[in-house]
A and B are shown apart, each in its own frame.
Chain A
Amino acid sequence: MFNQRKFVKVLLYLAMVLVAIAIFAPFYWLIISSISTMSELLCTPPHWIPKHPTFDNYLNIFFPKTGVAKAAKIFMYTVRNSLIIAGGVTVISLILGSLAAYAFVRLVFPMRKQILISILATRMLPAISTMIPLYIIVTKFNLIDTKISLIILYFTFTIPYVIWIMTGFFRTIPSELEDAARIDGCSRLGSFLRIILPLSTPGLIATTVIAFMLAWDEFFFALIFTNTPNAKTVPVAITEFAGRHLIDYGGMCTGGVLASIPPVLLALIFYRFIVRGLTAGAVKG
């Protein structure tokens, strides 16, 4: 009996080691590839630990000299675009979305349920079902390849998402608290600011982080609606390390590492909040 239990435990630890390898090995290889020299990358079999690690790929991206590949040259511009776009989308949709969510949960008004359901149902729709008209409209207003057009387009998925998660969070706050504040002479806005918002801080944090990650991750809209460093985002820039004739693997992996840093850090720092946010709404594709 004792031996059998020990055997099971060994098996469990073995499984955990396998899971750990599965999680880290591919990511390890991405990082290693970004600090390997071209000649070491093209060895067969590859050098699992680079003999001559180099930060040239990173230097090429941070301080592009003449002669550096175009994708590396524009990379930092696309990082800036991505930060502006994802940041703008997150802030605006958080404000508008959580206000709307509050109304859907706490206020009674005609068509409340129908409006909420039709907003939430849009999360099921594929992006491409709105893309053709949006493309025609954006072209008509001459907004192709602008950051503002991407911010507006990203509302298609961030606002429904924020409304969805925040309705879930607001429902968990007992309405008696708010009623008590109202009786004590608090205005509706006051009770929203003093009671509801502080209590839903974990939800707001989770929503902020995940909305930012969604916008940072987005590729399809960015691919179609941008074509110069003026508005191009990081995911699009990464695909451009693959030129017509030659793929700059080192550069591509470096771009990949840099693009992963913000979302991975956010995920690790806000782990607890994100888990709550995900389970409140079960999101991200």
Chain B
Amino acid sequence: MFFPFSKKFRFRELNEAQLAYLIIFPSVVILLCVIFYPIIYTFYLSFHKMFLTQPGRVPFIGLKNYIRFFHSSFFWNALLRTAYFAFLSVGMELILGLGIALLLNQNLIGSKFLRVSIMIPWAIPTVVIGIMWKWIYNANYGALNGLLFSLGIIPKYQAWLAKPFIAMNFVIIADVWHMTPFVVLIFLASLAVLPKALYEAAKIDGASAWKCFKSITLPLLTPAILVVLVFRTVEAFKVFDIIYVMTRGGPANATQVINYYTYLETFSYLHFGRGSALSFIISAIVLIIALIYIKLLYKGIEYY
């Protein structure tokens, strides 16, 4: 396999650095081929005009692909929608996740059962989440319509995913259902290691439950909150699967997030150059967000 030596060859004869390079070699080569080389290629393509239908002609056009997007309202709208999606979904996941984690941390009857079963929404594949909620929201036969209609909340069945504003928010609900468990798990793990002595001391001093939460729990959870923020925002900015399955960017482009826009530009219109420029813009945004958070994160850890 990847140890092409004779029998005489022994590990101890290598010095540490040689051994290390030997061990990381396979992973590094694979990643160079499937990530680093493609990224440089993407960067190169983003300055060129490339149509898949005309593979022979790849003229250099400088920053034209980028400039085109900065002047395009489609691009800015897609970016705004993505920001809306990320802000709302991550915000709700954070608040719900914290609430549920605190609730399940109470050691009531059944909380252990819920702690395990909350893994289910997280474990279900994203595409299944998409079809499941799409079916629940269905305009003619959906469970949501059936439920609200039976309860007399809506006078007649609604075509939820056909209304631009509602469609976006309903996709967000599906995403929140899928990813809140992840947030809960992170918070539960952090809550489990909080020092109990602090709470006992606070209790002796007569602090209320709210005061305990505000002055002990929340500050000690800061690193966990930042971890959740980094990972969820980055993922939310890359959202694609659930949009593809539930709405395909519709209705009237209302759910066309930046990643979906890039997908269309690249694999439907086959503008590979423009697609590359777009994917580079997304990567840049995601990296900037991550860097800002990481700066905050380190501050958060130094905080106590």
Which B residues are CB-close (under 8 A) to A136?
41, 272
Which B residues are CB-close (under 8 A) to A219?
125-127, 240-241, 244
Q: Is B39 an interface residue (CB 8 A)?
A: yes
Is there contact, CB below 8 Å, between A155 and B132? no
Is there contact, CB below 8 Å, between B42 and A129? yes
Which B residues are CB-close (under 8 A) to A96?
26-27, 30
Also in contact, A220 and B135, with CB within 8 A (given A46-B146, A132-B42, A159-B31):
no
Shortest Cβ gap from A275 to chain B (Å): 6
Q: Is A246 an interface residue (CB 8 A)?
A: no
Q: Name the contact of B149 in the complex, choosing from A45, A163, A283 (C-beta under 8 A).
A: A45
Shortest Cβ gap from B140 to chain A (Å): 8
Q: Is A224 an interface residue (CB 8 A)?
A: yes
Also in contact, A26 and B141, with CB within 8 A (given A107-B16, A126-B286, A275-B189):
no
Is there contact, CB below 8 Å, between B125 and A263? yes
Shortest Cβ gap from A208 to chain B (Å): 15
Q: Is B23 an interface residue (CB 8 A)?
A: yes
Is there contact, CB below 8 Å, between A133 and B41? yes
Closest to B15 in A: A109
Rounded to whole angstroms, the CA-CA distance of A213 and B103 in the bound complex is: 28
Q: Is B216 an interface residue (CB 8 A)?
A: no
Which A residues are CB-close (under 8 A) to B262?
128
Is there contact, CB below 8 Å, between A217 and B39? no
Is there contact, CB below 8 Å, between A124 and B128? no
Which A residues are CB-close (under 8 A) to B49?
none
Q: Is A278 an interface residue (CB 8 A)?
A: yes
Which A residues are CB-close (under 8 A) to B104?
16, 19
Is there contact, CB below 8 Å, between A239 and B24? no
Which B residues are CB-close (under 8 A) to A24?
117, 120
Q: Is B207 an interface residue (CB 8 A)?
A: no
Number of residue pairs spanning A and B whose beta carbons lie under 8 angstroms apart: 280
Also in contact, A238 and B12, with CB within 8 A (given A41-B141, A107-B20, A159-B30):
no
Jot down 14 A-B pairs with beta carbons below 8 A, ordered by A. Answer: A9-B108, A15-B103, A41-B141, A97-B27, A99-B27, A100-B23, A107-B19, A122-B35, A127-B238, A129-B280, A131-B279, A239-B131, A242-B131, A260-B125
List B residues at the A interface (Cβ < 8 Å).
10-12, 16-17, 19-21, 23-24, 26-28, 30-31, 34-39, 41-42, 45, 100, 103-104, 106, 108, 110-111, 114, 116-128, 131-133, 135-136, 138, 140-141, 143, 145-147, 149-150, 157, 177, 182, 185-186, 188-190, 227-228, 231, 234-235, 237-238, 240-241, 244-245, 259, 262-263, 266-267, 272, 275-276, 279-280, 282-283, 286-287, 290
Given A129-B279, A217-B126, 11 other A-B residues pairs in contact with their CB atoms under 8 A: A44-B146, A45-B145, A103-B24, A108-B17, A122-B35, A125-B287, A131-B38, A136-B41, A236-B127, A264-B124, A271-B119
List A residues at the B interface (Cβ < 8 Å).
9, 12-13, 15-16, 19-20, 22-24, 26-27, 29-30, 33, 41-46, 96-97, 99-100, 102-104, 107-110, 112, 115, 118-119, 121-122, 124-134, 136-137, 152-153, 155-156, 159-160, 163, 187-189, 213, 216-217, 219-220, 223-224, 234-236, 238-239, 241-242, 249, 252-253, 256, 259-260, 263-264, 266-268, 271, 274-275, 278-279, 282-285
